[in-house]
Structure 1
Amino acid sequence: MDYTQESYRVRCEWGEGGVKILAPMCDVIVIVDVLSFSTCVDVALSREAEVYPYAWKDERGRMYAEEIGGVLAEKRGTSHFSLSPFSLQTLPAKTKLVLPSPNGSTLTTIAAEQVDLVITSCLRNAEAVGQMLSTHSGTIGVIPAGERWPDGSLRPALEDWLGAGAVLAALSGDLSPEAEVAANLFESTRSNLEETLLNCSSGRELVDRGFREDVQIAAELNVSRNVPTLREGRYVRVEG
């Protein structure tokens, strides 16, 4: 059965499986991990840092950070800089931030093996990303990353669907039904994004752990013109 949405220039599919299906047939892949990888990337790039996605949070990540002269983002609440957008608001310029994430970083790595142009997007920069991609003539795959259930299987995450929809709503082009529905979902929710994110499953989890500010930062719509673009293994700032 064909899940590639090949009749359409702009496509949307979930998670690792979606990257593996769409990337071989796309010119651009956009990774959307709103809570919190993609939001962290945007905040860090706004501080004129560079972000090195890395799949592992263990000692391998620390060794990699030392190798490149960078700083490893720790778990929320355990370090000054972490996988918390709020913590990155004081990140020094030119920092090489190694950002471990089982979702956003992993999908970035998989996508980079298949396509030349990988971008990450969130609600904060969705319009800038969508407008830039509207000038691109190639095939585009937008990937809401999702989360993981305890057994490791994909848990579709509302915040990522909304983030993908925000990009797609700003992107003119021939949208697949999957992409069009994501855009419509975003449009129906855009006036109530903060409340929606604070009360969805992922948002409530962070609020209960004391990270309400992270959700509020992630819910800010189109406050950034960053188009985080992967170059030589790191996300750098391209202004949209």
Structure 2
Amino acid sequence: MPSPFDQSTYQVRLEWGVEGLGRLAPADVVVVVDVLRFSSTVADAVASGASVSLDDAERWSRNGAAVAAAAKDSVVLLGCLRNASAVARAIAELQERRQARTSVAVIAAGEADAAGAVRFAVEDQLGAGAIVAALTDLGIDHTAPDAAVAAEGFRALRRALRHMINASGSAREIADGVAATERITAAGLLPVTPAGAAELDAHDVVPVLREGVFVAFG
């Protein structure tokens, strides 16, 4: 019997972290949302013409990179506020190519502690909601309640994104200094600031995981 938590009756689903990915029914596309900073930083790097290896990313991201690694049997896209509309368009394009209903699992990475326990992260809720809302605008709107709630939360708070992100616990942690910042820089990447991560649709590049490397979808 299907699990009541697998959201399999819906085209667009939402869960949290690696365990949440495991609770969902398998999906054609998995969108990993780790706004501060995995998804935003890799999206900007790919937008600048670089490619980012998942192995390298796992050295500085224990949240989003872990979800991407666990989802690699699906098409894996990276989404954030900075490319939310572009992610929705990429999914619509994939569905058109396949000529079939395409299931989508939007996975908010959340914040994982040293033991691996995931807590809610407001920035990832907003990023996931932005992507679900953009999918709905394109007519991909058979959404699970979890996804619908995130989308409506994003719509309600759209004008306050900068404040919401900057006031989040994750942003305060970054301001206090975290080791991941140094590791991102050591990897030759430019960490996205909380203010930058709050910019909606700053570019139209979507990283897709191909043979262990994030490159531009196309």
- Say yes or no: TM over 0.5: yes
- How many Å apart are 1:151 and its aligned residue? 4.0
1:104 paired with 2:64, answer yes
- How many Å apart are 1:51 and its aligned residue? 0.9
- For the residue of structure 1 that corresponds to 2:76, the secondary structure is strand
After superposition, the C-alpha distances for 1:92-131 in whole angstroms (9 at most, x for unaligned) are: xxxxxxxx3111111111100x32x110111000011012
| RMSD (Å) for aligned C-alpha atoms | 1.9
**Contact 2:36/2:192, CA 8 A, preserved across alignment:** no
Match of 1:62 in 2: none
**Contact 1:20/1:111, CA 8 A, preserved across alignment:** no
Match of 1:30 in 2: 31
**Contact 2:90/2:217, CA 8 A, preserved across alignment:** no
- For the residue of structure 2 that corresponds to 1:41, the secondary structure is helix
- For the residue of structure 1 that corresponds to 2:153, the secondary structure is helix
1:131 paired with 2:132, answer no
Equivalenced residues, count? 194
Instruction: Provide the rounded CA distance (Å) in 1 between the counterparts of 2:30 and 2:79.
Output: 10
1:190 paired with 2:165, answer no
- How many Å apart are 1:213 and its aligned residue? 6.7
After superposition, the C-alpha distances for 1:30-62 in whole angstroms (9 at most, x for unaligned) are: 0000000000111101110001122653xxxxx
- How many Å apart are 1:21 and its aligned residue? 2.3
Matched AA of 2:156: S
Match of 2:12 in 1: 10
**Contact 2:110/2:118, CA 8 A, preserved across alignment:** yes
**Contact 2:80/2:127, CA 8 A, preserved across alignment:** yes
- 5 Å-filtered alignment, 1:57-206, equals 57=59, 100-112=60-72, 114-115=73-74, 117-135=75-93, 136=95, 137-172=101-136, 173=140, 174-206=142-174
Instruction: Provide the rounded CA distance (Å) in 2 between the counterparts of 1:230 and 1:148.
Output: 22
Match of 2:187 in 1: none
Match of 1:19 in 2: 21
Q: In percent, how many aligned pairs have the same letter?
A: 39
Please point out which of 193, 197, 209 is paired with 1:218: 197
Matched AA of 1:107: V
Runs of 4+ in 1 over 2 A off after TM superposition: 54-57, 149-152, 207-213
Instruction: Provide the rounded CA distance (Å) in 2 between the counterparts of 1:164 and 1:235.
Output: 19
- For the residue of structure 2 that corresponds to 1:171, the secondary structure is helix
Match of 1:209 in 2: 177
Q: Which runs of 5+ in 1 are unaligned?
A: 58-99
Q: Relative to 1, partners in 2 of residues 1:3 and 1:213: Cα closer, same or farther, differing over 3 Å?
A: closer
